[in-house]
Amino acid sequence: MTGVLNLVALLLVAGAATAAVAQRDPARQALVLSVLGVLLAVLFTVLQAPDVGLSQLAVGAALTPLLIMLSVRKIRRRGRGRDGAR
């Protein structure tokens, strides 16, 4: 029973991580990454490491997406500014 739970959590994390790598667009990557963060937190809980799970949750649920999306926005704005100047 515990083995099944471990297996489900591990498979989900492996799938989400592969999907995050396979995405091309950074914004879509950030979406998959935030799902991966929550799944990793569940995996750590299943493996009886709630401290690590909390760290992962705190960083992965909101902070990492915010940092990535702010960078994406800055780069898009720069591109738009250059196009406008031309």
Partner 1 sequence: MSRRLRLWLLAVGGAGLAALLAAACLDLPGFGGRAHPYGTRAVRASLARHTANTVASVNFDQRAYDTLGEMSILFAAVLGCVVLLRQARDEHRERPRPAEVARPVRRYALLVVPVALVCGLYVIAHGQLSPGGGFQGGVVAATALHLLYLGADYRALERVRPLGTFETVDALSVCAYLVLGLAGVLAATAFLANTLLPYGTFDTLSSGGTVPLLNAAVGIEVASAVVVLLANFLDQAVEIEEGNGG
Partner 2 sequence: MNGWILAATVELGGGGAAALWGVTTGPVARRVVAQNLTTAALCPALLLLAQGYGRPAYVDLALLLALLGPVGTLVFARLLHEDLEGRRPSAWGLTYAVAGVGAVVVIVVCAATGPGRAMVKLLVIGALLIGGNLIASRALSGGFQGVRGG
- List interacting residues with partner 1 (CB under 8 A): 50-51, 53-55, 57-59, 62-63, 66-67, 70-71, 73-74, 77-78, 81
Taking the complex as a whole, how short is the minimal distance between the CB of residue 61 and partner 2, in angstroms? Answer: 4
Q: Does residue number 10 form part of the binding site for partner 2 (CB under 8 A)?
A: no
Kindly state the smallest distance separating residue 82's Cβ from partner 2, in Å: 17
Q: Which residue is it, tokens 């914004």? A: 27
Which phi and psi (to 5°) does residue 59 adopt? -80, -45
Q: Give CA–CA dist 24/62, Å, rounded.
A: 21
Among 10, 31, 82, 85, binds partner 2 (CB under 8 A): 31
3-state secondary structure of 1: coil
Neighbours of 55 (CB within 10 A): 13
Residue whose tokens read 């780069």: 75
47 part of the interface to partner 2, by CB under 8 A: no
Q: Interface with partner 2 includes 12 (CB under 8 A)?
A: yes
